[in-house]
Amino acid sequence: MNDFPMVSIVLPIYNVELYLEECLDSVLNQTYKNYELIAVNDGSTDSSRDILIAYEKKFSEKLMVIEQENKGLSAARNTGLEHANGTYIYFLDSDDWILPDTLSSCVSSLRKNDADLVVFNAKAFCDGMPEEHLKKLDYTRNLPNSAYKSGIKLFEDSRSVGTYIVQSCCYMYRKDVNRSLRFIEGILHEDHFFTTVLFLGSNKIEVLEDRFFQRRIRQNSITTSSATMRHAKGYYITAEALHEQLFPISKENEELCIYLNYLVQAGFKIERKISEKKIGIHRKIQLIIKYRKMMNVKDYSWILFPEKYKKLKETLSSS
């Protein structure tokens, strides 16, 4: 086996001129040198393209710049995957950055036990935000450094401790695990589908407690913007796609059933919020019929009569 297998870093870019250089520098300053950086400029209208061209001239042996019209984050990542030549894949967001030993540590962990996947944590940062608030925005798995022989077991343990982190910037994986896996295009919350399919299809996983990924919190980003019906649809579409993709597993795995149920509930909660809780009975029945295979029977009442269900649950919990 090659002592220094190549890592393909997929970097989608859209209007991040203020942060792009810091992100690019964090990759170019990695202690591990056998990598390719695939930067997909997704139709930026600011100076991001100029920054990429300047960096490409200096680092042409490392940096590949791909131009495409604006199609969204998922499409940009998929474009990067089509051009990836590495043994391992890592996704990075262009307003964030990674610590210098990220690639080295991840490759070492993957090779140690011939693993399919290595997962790690993230530290949030934002100028002017109190530290106690930032800690709540960290991605922390609450799992010790360990090795898993089953992606299903990792999924179950992560869900049981309440820290199932789907963000694709918090892991590196062997491309051969699922060469055909792609992000669902045109939706939000795209990591839920990709990560879950990847995890459940992995046989050996290394868990690291390191916070390699440095997550920038900024206004008007996808993760901080107000919820819209597009957010709700992202959850609904993901639940449907996962149910179809993983039906043999979800039929038998209780934790996965609960997760699919969670996705449907998340979509419904957003839909209720943006409609100021005025969802008609026909729409509620439509949701129940469409997602009945992903819900428990008791959840029908929750959708039909959410306020009464909430009060009943509070009464039972206090008695």
Once rounded to an integer, what is the mean pLDDT over residues 100-124?
Answer: 96
What are 264-289's pLDDT values in tens digits? 999 999 999 998 878 999 999 999 99
Is the model more confident about 135 or about 70? 70
Q: Which two tokens stand for residue 166?
A: 């789907």
Of 57-66, 127-136, 272-281, the range with the lowest mean pLDDT is: 127-136
Encode 216-236: b = buried (16+ Cβ within 10 Å), e = exposed: bbeeeeeeeeeeeeebbbbbb
**How far is 82 from 104, CA to CA, in rounded Å?**
24
**How far is 51 from 219, CA to CA, in rounded Å?**
22
From the CB of residue 195, how many other CB atoms can be counted at a distance below 10 Å? 23
Sheet of 205-207: strands edge to edge?
63-68, 35-42, 7-13, 88-91, 171-174, 117-119, 205-207, 146-148
**How far is 107 from 118, CA to CA, in rounded Å?**
8
pLDDT at 131: 75
Give the H or E element holding residue 66. strand 63-68
Give domain 7-216's CATH architecture. Answer: Alpha-Beta Complex (3.90)
> Quick check: 1 pLDDT over 70?
no
Once rounded to an integer, what is the mean pLDDT over residues 239-264?
Answer: 89
Mean pLDDT, the chain, integer? 91
Query: How does residue 183 score in pLDDT terms, banded at 50, 70 and 90?
Result: very high
In the chain, what percentage of residues exceed pLDDT 90?
74
From the CB of residue 123, how many other CB atoms can be counted at a distance below 10 Å? 17
pTM: 0.92
> Quick check: 220 pLDDT over 70?
no
**How far is 21 from 19, CA to CA, in rounded Å?**
6
- List the domain boundaries for the chain: 7-216, 229-318
Once rounded to an integer, what is the mean pLDDT over residues 302-312?
Answer: 78
